[in-house]
Structure 1
Amino acid sequence: MTDAGDGTTILFAEPGARWRSVAYGPLLCLIVLILEMLTSADVHWFALVFCAALIAGFVVLQVIAGQRHVSVELTDTALRDGTETLALALIDAVLPERDEESWDDEDWESARSLGELSGVPRRRKGIGLRLVDGELVQAWAKDHRGLRAALTTAVGGAVVSDEAPPSAEETEDRHSENGADR
């Protein structure tokens, strides 16, 4: 937990993109330059400097976009996914993870995702949230289990299940799909 500077405590954070990735392209060009100098080949100064600057420029744009649109921050008062901030007081419950063995989708999987993107960003997983007005939304993060645990603690309750636990009779009659346990 860290202090955000405005009196709130950061419980979970993902930057979305890191500035160190800007250096990868110029570093590769530097390696090529060194190899050209060591092998006594023609050194392509202009091309390598131009490519390094061009690659770095494009990556700077990607980092700025990543930090704006796919960063996540959970404080003790709000959850920010991308450009959308949701007050924790508006969250009624953190819904359970999708059952991987179930053929049916959870209701929250088709709900609106937080942020201004049309869905959950690539390489991120959704987390179902029920708001106090009954609306379902999806929060998302790369480390979805870490965000789920922090959200559950911050909202002040356990993960809510919409189903009743199976009875002992149902558990005994349940067989695997391929029939291997019969």
Structure 2
Amino acid sequence: MNEAQTAPTVLFAEPGARWRTVAYGPLLCLAVLLLELVLRGQVHWFGLGFCAALLAGFVYLQVVAGRRHVSVELTGSTLREGTETLPLSRIDQVLPEPDEESWDDEDWQSARALGELSGVPRRRKGIGLKLRDGGGLVQAWARDHRRLRAELTAALERLPGPESEAEEDVR
């Protein structure tokens, strides 16, 4: 069997950070170097090379951390938020979006965010989830939270429910 046959279909994915951002600092240093060459001024070879390497190194660490801790992936059977993976069979329902006109927060807005971070990451919006078996409320999150909400709702509708599993056990 090849890997494409065994890999689950990804319904929604956000990488958390993009590798292309590592190149932004060195490209800026290259532009400054070209400007120094064109203007025939003093060329700061060592300084610009050092800055390019330093910027690329720091951004590399940020991209690795972003891809590990802030990425989202939804398949037909699991939801992965950062390093935490939640089977879809544990989710009872996706709760509705909060009312923007309301003064009160929904209960799920103060619930634990999935993943190992202390809350919903910056520039992401939370999605309330009610878990089965007394698991309470948690927050999933994504930049494109509306699309994740739609894909997650559709994936949960495709799953066999607990009542259909109970009917199969009786037969």
TM-score range for the pair, normalised by the shorter chain length: 0.7 to 0.9
Q: Give the % identical residues.
A: 73
Paired position in structure 2 for 1:83:
83
What is the TM-score when the length of structure 2 is the normalising length? Answer: 0.88
CA distance in 2 between counterparts of 1:131 and 1:29 reads 50
Q: How does 1:5-20 map to 2 (within 5 A)?
A: 6-20=6-20
User: RMSD of the alignment, in Å?
Assistant: 1.3
What 5-or-longer segments of structure 1 have no aligned partner? Answer: 158-182
One-letter amino acid of the structure 1 residue matched with residue 49 of structure 2: V
What 5-or-longer segments of structure 2 have no aligned partner? Answer: 159-171
One-letter amino acid of the structure 1 residue matched with residue 29 of structure 2: C
Counterpart secondary structure, 2:152: helix
1:144 aligns with 2:161: no
CA distance in 2 between counterparts of 1:105 and 1:133 reads 24
Q: Compare the two structures and name the one with the higher helix fraction.
A: 2
Quick check: 1:91–1:131 contact (8 Å CA) kept in 2?
A: yes
Structure 1 segments (4+ residues) deviating >4 Å: none
What is the TM-score when the length of structure 1 is the normalising length? Answer: 0.83
Q: How does 1:1-182 map to 2 (within 5 A)?
A: 6-134=6-134, 135-156=136-157
Counterpart secondary structure, 2:13: strand
Q: What is the count of residue pairs matched by the alignment?
A: 155
Distance 1:4 1:99, change over 3 A: farther
CA distance in 1 between counterparts of 2:150 and 2:11 reads 10
